[in-house]
Amino acid sequence: MAPKNFSSCINSIWILLFVFGVASAQLTPDFYDKTCPGAFAAIDKVVRAAIANESRMGASLLRLQFHDCFVDGCDGSVLLDDTPTMKGEKTAAPNNNSLRGFDVIDRIKAEVESLCPGVVSCADIVIITARDSVVALGGPYWTVLLGRRDSLIANFSGANTDIPAPTLNLSGLITSFANKGLSASDLVTLNGAHTVGEARCINYRNRIYNETNIDPSYAAPLRAICPITGGDNNLAPLDTETPAVFDNDIYKDMMMEKGLLHSDQQFYNGGSTDSQVEGYSKNPEAFAADFGNAMIKMGNISPLTGTSGQIRLNCRKVN
C-alpha cells in the first residue's frame, strides 16, 4: 500500500525503522553469508590446526565463550588486554593464569581480516570458535547465531563477581546462572563442557584432601599430583577417561563421586539435579542435543548489535 499523503508516508517510515531496528538487534545464522562467507572455513581451519597441535586447546577455546558471555554479555570483552586506563578481565581471579587461547583467536582474527576487513566481530569469533572446537573434539554441531559487535570496555570486577567459583554449592551455582537468564537445567548441561580440559591443583586441592563425597581411589593419585602445599598450577583432567573427547563421561564420573571440582560433584550430591545427571549418563544423544541448544542460549546473553560497540580490528584492543 503506497503512502497517499505526508502523514501516512511518515507512518511508513516509522514502520520501516521499527522493522529494521528489530531485525538489526536480532542475531541470525546468516549474518555473514553475504559479507564474509569464507569466514567459517577459515576459522575452522585455524581451530583444527590449533587442536591438532595441542588437544587441550579445544577445551580452552570452548571455555572462552563462557567467560566472555558471563561478563557484560557476549561482547568480546574477555579478549581485551589491559591498558594504562583500563584493567582487562584476563587477570581477574577466574581467568588469571588459567584462561588460554588468546593467540589462537589472534590468528583467526588475522585470517578473517585478510578475507573481509572490518566485518567479523571478535565476539562472534569466540562463538564460532567454541562450536568448532566442540565439533573437532567429537562433540555435537549446532547452528550459531551471529551479528554481535565488540565492546569498547572490559569489566575486571564483573569477571570476579559474575563468573561462578568452583567452591560454590548447588544453590550458589544455580543463582549465578539464573542471574544470566539460564536455568538450573542449562547449568547442568553447560557444565558438561568439563568433559574436556584440565584444572589446576589450586582449584581441586580442598576437594581431594577434605571432602567426603569423593571416591578415595580417585582422590589418592590426585594427591600425588597436587600436594597440600605448592604445585598450585599442577594440572589434572576434569574428565577421568577422555579429557580430549567431547562425550558424556563427566556425568558418569559424577555418579561415581569422581567430579574433580567441588562444583562438578554438586550436580550429583543428593539434590534436585541428580536425575538430569543420571539421564545424561545413559543418553549421550540427549546431552549432545541439549548442549548445543544451551550454548546458543548462553550466546544470546546481552549481545551488542546494530550500531552499538564496534568491529575491532585487533581483538586485544579497541580501534
Which positions make up the binding site for heme b? 194
Active-site position among 56, 67, 131, 205: 67
Q: Where in 226-255 is the site for ligand NAG (CB under 6 A)?
A: 228
* CA atoms of 187 and 295, how far apart (whole Å): 11
Q: Note whether 36 binds ligand NAG by CB under 6 A.
A: no
State which residue, 3 or 227, has the beta carbon closest to ligand NAG. Answer: 227
What is the distance between the alpha carbons of residues 303 and 73, in angstroms, rounded to a whole number?
6
| Candidate list 5, 85, 114, 210; residue touching ligand NAG; CB under 6 A | 210
Beta bridge partners of 235: 200
Query: Would you give the binding string for ligand NAG spanning residues 157-186, x where CB under 6 A is met?
Result: xx--xx------x-xx--------------
Near ligand HEM in 103-162, by CB under 6 A: none
| Cα-trace Rg, the chain | 21
Using CB atoms within 10 Å of the CB of residue 219, give its burial: 0 to 12 exposed, 13 to 18 middle, 19+ buried: middle
Contacts of 57 (CB under 8 A, 6+ apart): 50, 51, 100, 101, 104, 133
Interface pick for ligand NAG out of 4, 5, 6, 53 (rule CB under 6 A) = 53
User: Which residues participate in the annotated binding site for Ca(2+)?
Assistant: 68, 71, 73, 75, 77, 89, 195, 239, 242, 247
Query: Which are the contacts of 283, defined by CB distance < 8 A and separation ≥ 6?
Result: 248
CB 116 → ligand HEM: shortest distance, Å? 28
Contact status, residue 144 vs residue 127, Cβ threshold 8 Å: yes
Written as nine digits, the cell of 305 is 548489535
Residue 30's SS3 state is coil
Residue 291: which of 282, 280, 275, 302 has the closest Cα? 280
Q: Does 63 bind ligand HEM (CB under 6 A)?
A: yes
- 84 to each of 81, 87, 88, how far by Cα in Å? 10, 8, 10
- In whole angstroms, give the CA distance from residue 239 to residue 316: 31
- The yes-or-no answer on residue 67 being catalytic is yes
206 binds ligand NAG (CB under 6 A): yes
Grid cell in block for residue 148? 554481535
**78 counts as binding ligand HEM under rule CB under 6 A:** no
The closest alpha carbon to 57, from 118, 136, 173, belongs to 136
| 80-99: contacts with ligand NAG (CB under 6 A) | 91, 96-97
Which one of ligand NAG, ligand HEM, none is in contact with 269 (Cβ closer than 5 to 8 A by kind)?
none
Which one of residues 27, 46, 50, 60 is an interface residue with ligand HEM (CB under 6 A)?
60
Return the active site residues: 67
**Residues making contact with ligand NAG (CB under 6 A):** 50, 53-54, 72, 91, 96-97, 153, 155, 157-158, 161-162, 169, 171-172, 205-206, 209-210, 228
**Residues making contact with ligand HEM (CB under 6 A):** 56, 59-60, 62-63, 66, 98, 100, 164-166, 173, 187, 190-191, 193-194, 196-200, 203, 261, 263
